[in-house]
A and B are shown apart, each in its own frame.
Chain A
Amino acid sequence: MEFTTQDIKKLADLARLELTPEEQELFATQLASILEYAQQIQDVDTSGVTVTSHIDYDTQEFREDESQAPATVDAIVKQFPHRAGSLNQVKRILE
């Protein structure tokens, strides 16, 4: 598996990461090398094998869906980078 700069740019865009040209070049090489190693899992015959989708040792316990007033609202609001009162102020997404 080889990665072009375009491939890396596309992945970075999907991952919401701005990468420098140096990082793009470095990751292209490193991702290829890690995948070359990881490629060995293709050698395992997995026909008829189910995917591990969750680890279930015991019956899951369900609880009632009850609303609660969390005690931590102020502490959470305090950490917003931009706030208007108790609201988190974010960028406009509609042009």
Chain B
Amino acid sequence: MAHEFQTISATSKALHAKEFSARELTQSYLDRIDSRDKEIQSYLDVFHTQALAAADAADKKLADGTAGTLTGMPLGIKDIIMIEGETCTAGSKILEGYQATYDAHVISQLKHSGSVFLGKTSLDEFAMGSSNENTELKQARNPWDTTRVPGGSSGGSAAAVAADLCIAALGTDTGGSVRQPAAFCGVVGMKPTYGRVSRHGVMAMTSSLDQVGPLTRSVEDATLLFNTIAGHDTHDATTRVTNPSVDIQKLAQPIKGMKIGLPKEFFVEGMDPQIRKLVEDAADQLRALGAEVIEVSLSLTQYALAVYQLTATSEISSNMARYDGMRYGHSVEAERLIDVYRQSRAEGFGSEVKRRIMLGTFALSAGYHDQYYVQAQKVRTLIQKEYTDIFKKVDCLIGPTTPSVAFVHGEKFNDPLLMYLSDIYTVPANIGGICAISVPGGYAGGLPVGVQFMAGAFAEQTLFQVAHQYEQATTWHTMHPDL
């Protein structure tokens, strides 16, 4: 069947109109994965049997009239989100062969909607990375140019959506891990406000920042997935009790009269001039739609990445302590208990995970704790305040998602600091506790560029509306790689 590079909304209409069955749709995706993913390497695990069984269940729902928009939609799931009974590795050797013992909350929600899981997508180990190179399992490739990285850490999810190896995917975003790969692969990637989406059943990296977010081919699709996964969950006490969903009908409302801020600190010297030009074009596009675009200042932006590094590594050193070779995962035989810990972790973790554990252990250690961790949490308070204040003046912010296009595999691998800098524009939204989305905003040298929109905490309605209006006024989102 010829049904490629379509959105959820279009595909759902076709399913309801009986143009094809959910089984045919899922089979066509499985066939594409079998033929194309040898090159893209986006899936760690493909659920041939289970996906078709879920598709059959979706066909029953379609037949008896209980189907919703997501019923029968074949999705890719980042392999840090647990699906009961399936392997969940987090891209790490320490969890090779680990079987998830329950469904993540987001998975229960998606199962309830009747969606189909095609498989688990590749990632940087425990979501630590910006290129999908930090894993010994499978390094996904960028479908626009397979010598380049897809970004990370949700690189497999972004590559799979871009190559149409799933209709949409879930990722996780702690410092940009949904938006940065979305920008590199030319798809939509959204980070919900902290407190929107439950992390129950999602392996923790930085608990005070982690959020699950959608990667899709349109802003409307991202909204559909967001509405399905967001909401209060008693298993994650950080999810807000009052958690209203986004009204999809209102995405079509014009943005005339809205105030959009262009933070001058996001346009620093040394940024790729082609990216700067495309973001300025996007701002002009918003003006053409009747919005008022004004330059604003977020003076603490330059500190966000440093705050992130100290916060993330500190929480990582604590969260990774559970992988000790005693209860599950890789376990080394040794005489003494302490050596089981030390050696299981030495063999099971890759370089980036060890580096972050070491840095976090340092930042929390006696004598340095106040200077690094505590100071970072104070600057974080100031950054959050700066965002709260700016959203009293503007409805939304616009800027680049990344400082460069997708880089060549291996180019930044040996310089961790250089690698971390690829998240310089995405990290502030996480530290600020706000929501953000990356939307295709053009091409530089044949490679996708992302435009980022940011809105205040729990202001997803505005975020999706502005992003949708921009997207619909451009054609960038309709382009896809030649495969």
A residues near B (Cβ < 8 Å) are 8, 11-12, 14-19, 23, 27, 30-31, 33-35, 37-42, 44, 46, 49-55, 57-61, 63, 72, 75-76, 78-82, 88, 90-93
Number of A-B contacts (CB under 8 A): 156
Q: Residues of B contacting A30 with CB < 8 Å?
A: 355, 416-417
Cβ 8 A contact of B362, one of A31, A59, A72, A75: A31
Cβ 8 A contact of B354, one of A23, A34, A46: A23
Judging by beta carbons under 8 Å apart, are B378 and A34 in contact? no
Q: Residues of B contacting A12 with CB < 8 Å?
A: 358
Q: Is B242 an interface residue (CB 8 A)?
A: yes
Judging by beta carbons under 8 Å apart, are B306 and A46 in contact? no
Judging by beta carbons under 8 Å apart, are A61 and B237 in contact? yes
Q: Residues of B contacting A90 with CB < 8 Å?
A: 326, 337
Known: A27-B355, A72-B102, A79-B327. A17 touches B457 (CB 8 A): no
Judging by beta carbons under 8 Å apart, are A16 and B324 in contact? yes
Nearest chain A CB to B300 CB, angstrom units: 7
| Given A19-B346, A58-B240, A80-B328: 10 more A-B contacts, CB < 8 Å | A17-B349, A17-B354, A18-B343, A31-B358, A37-B305, A38-B310, A52-B208, A57-B458, A79-B98, A79-B329
Q: How far is the CA of A49 from the CA of B342 in the complex (A)?
A: 39
Known: A16-B345, A49-B382, A57-B458. A41 touches B377 (CB 8 A): no
Judging by beta carbons under 8 Å apart, are A79 and B361 in contact? no
Residue of B nearest to A10 (CB): B365
Nearest chain A CB to B365 CB, angstrom units: 7
Q: Is B50 an interface residue (CB 8 A)?
A: no
Q: Residues of B contacting A18 with CB < 8 Å?
A: 339, 342-343, 345-346
Judging by beta carbons under 8 Å apart, are A17 and B357 in contact? yes
Known: A31-B359, A58-B195, A76-B101. A40 touches B374 (CB 8 A): no
Q: How far is the CA of A16 from the CA of B336 in the complex (A)?
A: 13
Judging by beta carbons under 8 Å apart, are B340 and A91 in contact? yes
Interface 1/0s, chain B 229-257, versus A by CB < 8 A?
A: 00010100110111000000000000000
Judging by beta carbons under 8 Å apart, are B240 and A72 in contact? no
Known: A34-B359, A50-B378. A59 touches B241 (CB 8 A): yes
| B residues 343-377 in Cβ contact with A at 8 Å | 343, 345-346, 349, 351, 354-355, 357-359, 361-362, 365, 371-372, 374-377
Residue of B nearest to A71 (CB): B102
Judging by beta carbons under 8 Å apart, are A33 and B417 in contact? yes
| B residues 69-122 in Cβ contact with A at 8 Å | 85, 98-99, 101-102
Q: Is B194 an interface residue (CB 8 A)?
A: yes
Q: How far is the CA of A21 from the CA of B458 in the complex (A)?
A: 48
Q: Residues of A contacting B472 with CB < 8 Å?
A: none
Q: Residues of A contacting B339 with CB < 8 Å?
A: 18
Between A and B, 25 residue pairs with Cβ closer than 8 Å are A11-B361, A16-B341, A17-B358, A27-B355, A27-B358, A31-B362, A33-B416, A34-B309, A34-B417, A40-B306, A41-B306, A51-B378, A51-B381, A52-B377, A52-B381, A57-B457, A57-B458, A58-B195, A61-B232, A75-B101, A78-B99, A81-B326, A91-B336, A91-B337, A93-B337
Q: Is B483 an interface residue (CB 8 A)?
A: no
Residue of A nearest to B311 (CB): A52
